[in-house]
Structure 1
Amino acid sequence: MYLHVRCFSNSRLILWPGFSTSVLRYETQILLSVDISHKVLRNETVLDFMIELYNRVGDQHFSDTCMKELVGFVVLTRYNNKTYRIDDIDWSVKPTNKFKKADGTEITYVDYYSQQYNASITDLKQPMLVSQLKSKNRFKDMAPRLAHLVPEFCFLTGLSSQARSDFQIMKDLAAETQLSPQKRQKRLHELIDNIQRNKVTRTELEGWGLRLDEQISLVGRVLPPEKIQMFDHSCQPVSPVDWSRDTRKSRIIGSQPLQDWLMVFSHRNYEVAGQLLACLKKVGPPMGFLVDNPKMKDKEALERMQIVKPGAVNKWLEVNHELPSRIVIYRDGVGDGQLMTLVDYEVPQILDSFKMVHSTYSPKVTIIVVRKKGTCRFFANVNGLLQNPPVGTVIDSEATHPEWYDFFQISQCAHQGTVSPTYYHVVYDNSSMKPDHVQRLTYKMCHLYYNWPGVIRVPAPCQYAFKLTTLVAQNVHREPDLELADRLFFL
């Protein structure tokens, strides 16, 4: 249910606020989890976008560029208020083509939309968008169901790269979407109050034997702050969020000198490249990081790189001359519906892969699913005022599941709005590590992302994996070179 639609006239954007909800069995009772959500719509159809793109890139590169720009986008069709993901573009199908309906009769897309939705298609030469529908059938061998969508009726959702680079647009959106704990709590109370006052919803709840009680309170723990170990001393940062000032003039434990290296830049960024080099040579020596002059290369395009993933265990053996006795794996990008598949298929494959190293090799293994998105939010009650919980807060009761080994952890600071906790689910563990040790290790790993002198939202391996896959998917389009496998070249 979306209310109070906000239009941004200068950017052709529409913001629909609403609520995301779930009712699940938690530690001791059934709870309703509610959070405020927003959907950004563009007042621009896919056909408008395609026409603008054609005028910009021309006929020769239009098809490839269009596929690259649109596949993966989510669109909304206003004739039925449903969202679809664009999985492909069928250039051979036009609105004048016929398709078979459920009753077996054939009809053109033009006639179908006219009869079904009283909508007229004006451009009869536009291609059709293809979306794979989610199947409700549990049998995986069923053929996927495909829907053909008319670009003229599909409105783009989300923000374009141009909008994201517009400071004023992002500022206006942030003012509407990044709510403080107090404002978020007020809107949630208004929702619950409306549900309680509505006779229809109240009757529906009573029919299920349910009622809405007060918001629950629970007790969390705050993990102790981590010390940052430098070459000749350790320091306790003033804030775990950013310790750059605390360590700026301290030598790091060890670093390789940057000697034989190449700096590649476009001609227009010549001055920026010089500034970057000057900055490196200024801040590097006090930290024990020596930087030689690079080969400066002005070039617009680089050859694509290729990489073959080596076995992490074999690499450990090569460097440390012994096999690891304990392995912790952080697994990102797994939804609730995929957990059993992960446990039944992926975990056994991981365990079997160790036999490829040595027939008797059997390390202790902990596999943890990491999830950044969720409806749970937590507020700290400080002298009667709601605030974001402090960095390092752990919640492992009440809001967790009784049959799962799971916990929430807050390892980042929200300077604006309400902080989002990261959810961790230990799906496999034969290491006998105590829950407190797993939580402490996870928090420590959030300190080890080398691109930021502070804590981040997820353990460093997850962020490294995200940066690598994003670089390969958006720019490289092939596996990078094997020689780069042990370097953080993707940061």
Structure 2
Amino acid sequence: MADRPPPRGRGALIQEILKKREEERALGARPDPEEQSTEAPKPRGRAALLKKIHEKKQKLVGADPSLSAGEPSTSAHSTATSAPAHSTSSSVSTAQSTAPVQTVHTGGVQEVAEALSQVSLQEREPVFYKGEIGKPLRASSNYIRLNIQKDGGVFEYEVQFNPNIDAKNRRVKLVSTVVREQLAGIPRVFDGGSCLYLPKKITDTSQTFTATIPGPDGDQTLSCTFIYKRKKSYSDRECLHLYNCLFKRIMYILLYTQMGRNYYNTQHRYLIPQHKLEVFPGFAVSVDELEDGLMLCLDTQHRVLRTQTAYELLSELRAVDPRRFKEMANSSLIGACIMTKYNNKTYTVHDIAWDMNPMDTFPTRDGGSISFADYYKKQYEINIKDTEQPLLINRKNVSQSGSKEKVEKIVCLIPELSSLTGLTDEMRSDFKVMKDVAQYTRVTPNQRINALRTYLENIKKSNEAQKVLNDWGLVIADNPVDLHARQLDNEIIYFGNNQFQTNNNADWNRAIGEYKVTGPVDIHNWIVFFTDRDAKNAQMFAQTMQKLGPVMGCRINQPKPVKLPNDRTDTYMTYCQQHIDKYTQIVVFICPTMRTDRYSVIKKVCCSQIPVASQVINSRTLCNPQKVRAIIQKIALQMTCKLGGTLWTIRFPFKGWMICGIDVYHGSKTEKTSVCGFVASLNETVSRWFSLSMFQDKELGDYFKSAFAKALERWKTENGTFPSKVVIIRDGVGDGQLEHCKRYEIEQMEAVLRELELPVQICFIVVQKRINTRIFTEGREGYENPPPGTIVDYGITRRYLQDFFLVPQNVRQGTVNPTHYIVLHDTINLKPDHTQRLCYKLCHLYYNWPGTIRVPAPCQYAHKLAALVGQHIKKAPSALLSDRLFYL
């Protein structure tokens, strides 16, 4: 027998108690009376509920002498129920010692059910995290209130079968028959086990039903008992899942088709024939319990599909280069998302089966076999034209019934029937393609509100959709919810010799070109690598850089020019090793084209092998004489940051605080590891940064402990003492990972402080960008985007979280995306106003853009670092670059 791992948690505690009892029996010792009288721990969860039931039962016994401890069904059930859950309670111990263990009768079940229904389960109080500072704004959002009818809701019942039924399908059949024949066919949700949800309360205790269902040996008459448990809270996960399922049914009623997680109107599409594209409009739909009640979030979405099929793409690739056909096909299709229009499902292509074709057969459920061509003819009345085409392979892990283990399921797809989805990298880099697509996908606030109202009207007009809502006691509002928002004051940007007051545009692009930077760096020793075709561009670049030096407040000398004989990747590597020395401050590469392999080699050499700041420039960006000075000025600012300089600052009302940013980069599905970027401020003006990258296996960090310890030590080295407070802003954590993040990642930070014996307080904030929440303000022409600095911290925020929405940037086209902030842990006890203001200030400090950005600067720095390491360097950068923004 294999060795078992040692027990943990409750198992370890039970083992310790049993071991102690065995020792006492061996020694013949009696328990210490003082130890026996120790107060029992306060019960929680189910134990607390069962204790309430037991106490209620004791009161009933005192009120009615007939309900004595000697009555078999009552006392036995009370003992059997309460003792295991709370064995340390004195009242339960007495009952356990005096009352014999007896069989539980139906009457006992009814009495416990009655007690369960009468015990009030108090909900958690909602968390209010509201600030007060700022100018009030009237706002709206894409949330619609869902009202519950007075007698409506979700009622939970436990189902017991007599005799017991093992087969799940037979349990479902019996419950369905009972509800249809004896409960007037009211809607129900039954999990096939013992949990039943009904929209009405049919009994206060329990009720037994008898029905006849077909069995293997003929019709059988069976009975089942519905035991009332409680009315579910709308915030319970089961209820929210139920409501989301109801709206999924409504989307199907309104003829929307599900693609991925969202729903699209396939009957109403926009064609872009010049680019072989089509756009499907649709919605992202979700129901959640928020601070202001149960709400439906409805966000306009678009799905871009190519009218080209995978078969047409294969034909084009074969015509371009028959010798490299399979290689190009694998690189173009593997990892791509395709959609089969005969069932409107999306699949990811994991492989191409070159040795298979539509005439191959696969086994059927009845034990026979059928070819793929015959299957599509029989199932969908589709004739496959080319019977020699290869098949596309999709793999996914699916759960087996009755087992927790998952098995791999392989789906074979026909290229001829598979439409390509999304845009290629070539399309994304084409300005004309993106402009034409944006005409349909870039939606203004007014258009979003109109689409939302049209959706509500369609629900009102559909009797079938109204019946779904009425069956479960739901009433949908006629308009989106109104919000009370606030706008924070605009910030002042401080440069080396001047300051700039921002406005609602939230950018200082003009000011950065006129004022000196806050922390200039002289560039004395630098190298420019270029090929012969870019000799003029290199000379012009060097001259312009020298002229920009005084404007920025620094001195830039003539660089050392190095002409490369060709643009091969090994040439760049060889010349770097020959010309870069320890005195070189920064190297600039002017490349004739942008190639990923060349860029990766340059970054690997300059970030790991020969640590030096590097700048890669596409020569095409230097060919426009009208914009070249502005472009080179931005490059010069970027180079200043990579050398440890600072461009601008803002004022922070605290001293001795360290600000950290965390983000994780995930590569392709074939890459097993992810890269975590950890960035921490080094000074009180939050303008210099210490950066670390770590390789890990999951989104949630495993190595934050060492990174956090190094950041604290580096802060002490720079400032002479440890920081008094630390604010950590974490990007990339979804709702399902919040609890794990709280227990695991924050605990790593606290463990470091305990080991170093530091009385440092921590505030841990999670940032979420990929959300469907939209915020609008009322303007002269209807609805418009809110101004930068808009805060929404009530109404549509989470019911049990300290969270708020912030709109930090100005958007001229389309609809702005707010950012969701969740304060997950806070021993600093920051006020909501202070946290909101701090997050908004940090959105001003990203040196790659002279304006506010969507997330705080440390998160964006961490994102850039993790992406550079994960995509190109593939190893940890040199520690000599850790105090510079070398990844911009």
Percentage identity across aligned positions? 35
| Structure 2 residue 336 is the aligned partner of structure 1 residue 73 | yes
SS of structure 1 residue aligned to 2:489: coil
Q: Which amino acid aligns with 1:200?
A: E
Contact between 1:367 and 1:428, CA under 8 Å: does it hold in 2? Answer: yes
SS of structure 1 residue aligned to 2:274: coil
CA-CA distance at 1:257 after TM superposition: 2.3
CA-CA distance at 1:66 after TM superposition: 5.4
**1:40-65 Cα deviation digits (max 9, x unpaired):** 001123344355456657756954x6
Contact between 1:135 and 1:145, CA under 8 Å: does it hold in 2? Answer: no
**Residue 515 of structure 2: aligned partner:** 250
Distance 1:60 1:319 in 2: 56
Q: Which amino acid aligns with 1:329?
A: I
Q: Which amino acid aligns with 1:352?
A: A
Structure 1 residues 53 and 384, CA gap change in structure 2 (3 angstroms): closer
SS of structure 2 residue aligned to 1:215: strand
Structure 1 residues 277 and 424, CA gap change in structure 2 (3 angstroms): farther
**Residue 419 of structure 1: aligned partner:** 816
Structure 1 residues 480 and 189, CA gap change in structure 2 (3 angstroms): same
1:454 equivalent among 836, 851, 854: 851
CA-CA distance at 1:91 after TM superposition: 5.3
Q: Which structure has the bigger radius of gyration?
A: 2
**Residue 733 of structure 2: aligned partner:** 334
Q: Which amino acid aligns with 1:76?
A: M
Structure 1 residues 295 and 59, CA gap change in structure 2 (3 angstroms): farther
SS of structure 2 residue aligned to 1:436: helix
Residues 280-291 of structure 1 aligned to structure 2 (within 5 Å): 280-291=545-556
Structure 1 residues 465 and 269, CA gap change in structure 2 (3 angstroms): farther
Distance 2:821 2:367 in 1: 48
2:430 equivalent among 144, 166, 191: 166
CA-CA distance at 1:200 after TM superposition: 1.0
**1:195-245 Cα deviation digits (max 9, x unpaired):** 111111111111121112132111111111111112233321345532021
Distance 1:46 1:476 in 2: 33
**Residue 30 of structure 1: aligned partner:** 294
Instruction: Looking at secondary structure, tell me which structure has more helix per residue.
Output: 2
Distance 1:131 1:335 in 2: 25
| Structure 2 residue 804 is the aligned partner of structure 1 residue 407 | yes
Contact between 1:237 and 1:246, CA under 8 Å: does it hold in 2? Answer: no
Contact between 1:225 and 1:240, CA under 8 Å: does it hold in 2? Answer: no
| Structure 2 residue 724 is the aligned partner of structure 1 residue 325 | yes
Q: TM-score, normalised by structure 2?
A: 0.50
**Residue 94 of structure 1: aligned partner:** 356
Distance 1:286 1:490 in 2: 24
Q: Which amino acid aligns with 1:445?
A: L
Structure 1 residues 321 and 84, CA gap change in structure 2 (3 angstroms): farther
1:218 equivalent among 462, 483, 487: 483
- Judge which range, 373-382 or 25-34, deviates more: 373-382
**Residue 883 of structure 2: aligned partner:** 486
Distance 1:239 1:208 in 2: 46
Number of equivalences: 487
Q: Which has the higher contact order (CA 8 A, sep 6+)?
A: 1
| Structure 2 residue 482 is the aligned partner of structure 1 residue 83 | no
Unaligned 5+ residue runs, structure 1?
none
Contact between 2:777 and 2:784, CA under 8 Å: does it hold in 1? Answer: yes
Contact between 1:48 and 1:152, CA under 8 Å: does it hold in 2? Answer: yes
Q: Which amino acid aligns with 2:356?
A: K
SS of structure 2 residue aligned to 1:370: strand
- Judge which range, 422-431 or 391-400, deviates more: 422-431
Unaligned 5+ residue runs, structure 2?
1-255, 257-263, 570-597, 609-691, 694-706
Distance 2:302 2:470 in 1: 30
Distance 2:725 2:366 in 1: 59
Distance 2:418 2:742 in 1: 38
Structure 1 residues 300 and 413, CA gap change in structure 2 (3 angstroms): farther
**1:70-127 Cα deviation digits (max 9, x unpaired):** 45433212121012234x3255763466666677766665555455444437364635
1:232 equivalent among 471, 479, 497: 497
- Judge which range, 320-329 or 191-200, deviates more: 320-329
**Residue 259 of structure 1: aligned partner:** 524
SS of structure 1 residue aligned to 2:743: helix
After superposition, the CA RMSD in angstroms is 3.3
SS of structure 2 residue aligned to 1:184: helix
Q: Which amino acid aligns with 2:482?
A: S
1:44 equivalent among 275, 287, 308: 308
**Residue 744 of structure 2: aligned partner:** 345
Structure 1 residues 48 and 283, CA gap change in structure 2 (3 angstroms): farther
Structure 1 residues 409 and 196, CA gap change in structure 2 (3 angstroms): same
Structure 1 residues 105 and 312, CA gap change in structure 2 (3 angstroms): farther
SS of structure 1 residue aligned to 2:482: coil
Q: Which amino acid aligns with 1:368?
A: I
CA-CA distance at 1:438 after TM superposition: 1.3
**Residue 381 of structure 1: aligned partner:** 778
Distance 1:154 1:231 in 2: 58
**Residue 193 of structure 1: aligned partner:** 457
2:273 equivalent among 5, 9, 19: 9
Distance 2:873 2:750 in 1: 31
Contact between 1:27 and 1:399, CA under 8 Å: does it hold in 2? Answer: yes
Structure 1 residues 267 and 35, CA gap change in structure 2 (3 angstroms): farther
Distance 2:375 2:748 in 1: 48
Distance 2:323 2:878 in 1: 34
**1:372-412 Cα deviation digits (max 9, x unpaired):** 22222111113573221111101000010110111111111
Structure 1 residues 483 and 414, CA gap change in structure 2 (3 angstroms): same
Distance 1:230 1:13 in 2: 47
Distance 2:874 2:369 in 1: 40
Contact between 1:325 and 1:363, CA under 8 Å: does it hold in 2? Answer: yes
CA-CA distance at 1:134 after TM superposition: 7.4
Distance 1:327 1:20 in 2: 37
Q: Which amino acid aligns with 2:285?
A: T
Contact between 2:797 and 2:804, CA under 8 Å: does it hold in 1? Answer: yes
**1:279-325 Cα deviation digits (max 9, x unpaired):** 43333321213333334444443535165736433433343343333
Distance 1:116 1:12 in 2: 29
Contact between 2:339 and 2:421, CA under 8 Å: does it hold in 1? Answer: yes
Contact between 1:27 and 1:398, CA under 8 Å: does it hold in 2? Answer: yes
Distance 1:319 1:341 in 2: 33
Contact between 1:133 and 1:147, CA under 8 Å: does it hold in 2? Answer: no
SS of structure 2 residue aligned to 1:19: strand
CA-CA distance at 1:369 after TM superposition: 2.0
- Judge which range, 91-100 or 440-449, deviates more: 91-100
CA-CA distance at 1:191 after TM superposition: 1.2
Distance 1:169 1:278 in 2: 36
Distance 1:159 1:178 in 2: 15
Distance 1:287 1:193 in 2: 58
**1:318-358 Cα deviation digits (max 9, x unpaired):** 43343333222222222223323323333334433556xx4
